[in-house]
Amino acid sequence: MSFERRPTALLTGAAGHLGGVLARRLAACGWHMRLTDIKPFEGPLPDGATFLTVDLEDKRAVQDAAAGCDLILHFGGISTEQSFEDIIGPNYRGSFHIYEAARYHRARVVFPSSVHVVGLYERGDKLDQDCVLRPDGYYGLSKAYGEMLARMYWEKHEVESLIVRIGSTLSEPTDRRFLSTWLSYDDFIALVRCSAEAERLAFTVIWGASNNSRSFWRDDGRARIGWQPEDSSDGYIERLDAVVTHDAIAEGLQGGRFVTVDYTREGLPPKDLF
């Protein structure tokens, strides 16, 4: 199903960095935005948007917030590497509540997965969408869970999802690793718009990166939804190629600095199992 009218979208995590970008840019496109977070929205609300304080761990509140929405953009939860106990509530239970709400209200879901579901691959590896997931920490593990949750809800309940394995969504890349993972704001917004405009979303996995020649990633489901990134990090290569962390683990693996949190192995992880 695609939406001939402007869609009504529930956006969780609206007070966060990417949430703010989505709220303002999609409202400017004429979308009806229902914004939620546990923190206040920074700045004035976009025209036509509403804001609700909703805790993702409150199943009833999530269910009520999703009523009448065509699309749920699930950008709430913890987005940095934290302890398992900190992550389990908002990222595991919260994602479950989102998918239960999507099932009840027959809404599509955009689930922002992450490079950190494959963060323990070396930077020289070229990955397809069906590669074995190798999360680099508790945050990445929660995103791998979210991907499997989305797949189960598609196969059991026909809840459609766009899984976006986001690399690094910034105004511009800032170091060598981002030359591979950068996703521009314009490409990011175009991708989310495709999730509403596609006739059939099903369960679609997309590598969330712009058209970067140094990308770590190859095949995905972009042809199914008609998304083609237009920006590229290539124009930053000369300026950023020498900007590195000087940490052998961070520089060797796709997950970068996240990998180094509580990393106790000597050297890079073994490749022989993968």
Residues serving a catalytic function are 139
Q: Show the tokens assigned to 193.
A: 């718009």
Vertex 5: Cα angle to 37 and 34 (nearest 5) = 10
Q: Show the tokens assigned to 226.
A: 């008609």
Q: Show the tokens assigned to 171.
A: 């105004």
Instruction: Report which DSSP code applies to 199.
Output: S
Residue among 147, 136, 153, 175 at smallest CA distance from 262: 136
Q: What whole-number distance in Å separates Cα of residue 54 and Cα of residue 258?
A: 28
**152 CB contacts (<8 Å, ≥6 apart)?**
none
* Helix, strand, coil abundance in the chain, percent, nearest 5: 35, 15, 45
Residue among 91, 22, 2, 166 at smallest CA distance from 99: 91
Q: What whole-number distance in Å separates Cα of residue 130 and Cα of residue 271?
A: 17
State the alpha helices, DSSP H only, in the chain: 17-28, 59-65, 84-87, 94-105, 138-157, 178-181, 185-197, 222-225, 237-240, 248-252
